[in-house]
Amino acid sequence: MIDIAATIKDVAKYTGLSIATISKYINGGNVLEKNKILIEEAIKVLDFKVNEIARGLKTNKSMTIGVLIPSLENIFITSIISHIESILIQSGYSTIICDCKENRKLEQEKTEFLLSKMVDGIITMPYSNNGEHIKRVLEKNIPVVLLDRPLKDVNCDVVLVDNLNASYNAIEQLIIRGHKRIGIICGSKDVYTSQERLKGYLRVHEDYSIEIDPELIKYGDYQIDSGYRLLNELLDMESRPTAIYVTNYEMTLGAIMAINERGVSIPDELSIIGFDNIQMAKIVKPTLSIVVQPMQQIGETAANIMLKRLKGDMSNYPSMFRLKTEVLIRDSITSIV
Partner DNA sequence: TTGTAGGCGTTATCAA
Partner DNA sequence: TTGATAACGCCTACAA
Q: Which residue in the set 141, 209, 239, 315 belongs to the binding site for its own copies (CB under 8 A)?
A: 141
CA distance 15 to 302: 43
Q: Which residue in the set 20, 32, 45, 57 belongs to the binding site for its own copies (CB under 8 A)?
A: 57
- Residue 44 as a binder of its own copies (CB under 8 A): the answer is no
Number of residues that bind DNA (CB under 7 A): 28
Using the contact rule CB under 8 A, the part of the chain among 65-73, 151-159, 181-189, 211-219 near its own copies is: 65-73
What Cα–Cα distance (Å) separates residue 97 from each residue in 123, 155, 225, 256, 275?
Answer: 10, 23, 27, 32, 25
The residues, any chain, with a CB within 8 Å of residue 269's CB and separated by 6 or more, are none
- Residue 312 as a binder of DNA (CB under 7 A): the answer is no
Q: Which residue in the set 21, 39, 68, 95 belongs to the binding site for its own copies (CB under 8 A)?
A: 95
- Residue 257 as a binder of its own copies (CB under 8 A): the answer is yes
Using the contact rule CB under 8 A, the part of the chain among 29-37, 107-115, 151-159, 210-218 near its own copies is: 107-115
- Residue 90 as a binder of its own copies (CB under 8 A): the answer is no
The residues, any chain, with a CB within 8 Å of residue 248's CB and separated by 6 or more, are 187, 193, 222, 275, 276
Residue 17 interface partner, choices DNA, its own copies, none, CB cut-off 5-8 Å depending on type: DNA
- Residue 61 as a binder of DNA (CB under 7 A): the answer is no
SS3 call for 287: coil
Q: Which residue in the set 8, 10, 42, 85 belongs to the binding site for its own copies (CB under 8 A)?
A: 85
Q: Which residue in the set 1, 30, 141, 152 belongs to the binding site for DNA (CB under 7 A)?
A: 30
Residue among 240, 117, 112, 115 nearest 181 (CA): 240
What Cα–Cα distance (Å) separates residue 118 from each residue in 96, 135, 140, 314?
Answer: 11, 16, 11, 21
CA distance 107 to 104: 5
Residue 337 interface partner, choices its own copies, DNA, none, CB cut-off 5-8 Å depending on type: none
CA distance 124 to 101: 13
Binding site for DNA (CB under 7 A): 7-9, 16-21, 23-24, 26-27, 29-32, 35, 48-51, 54-55, 57-60
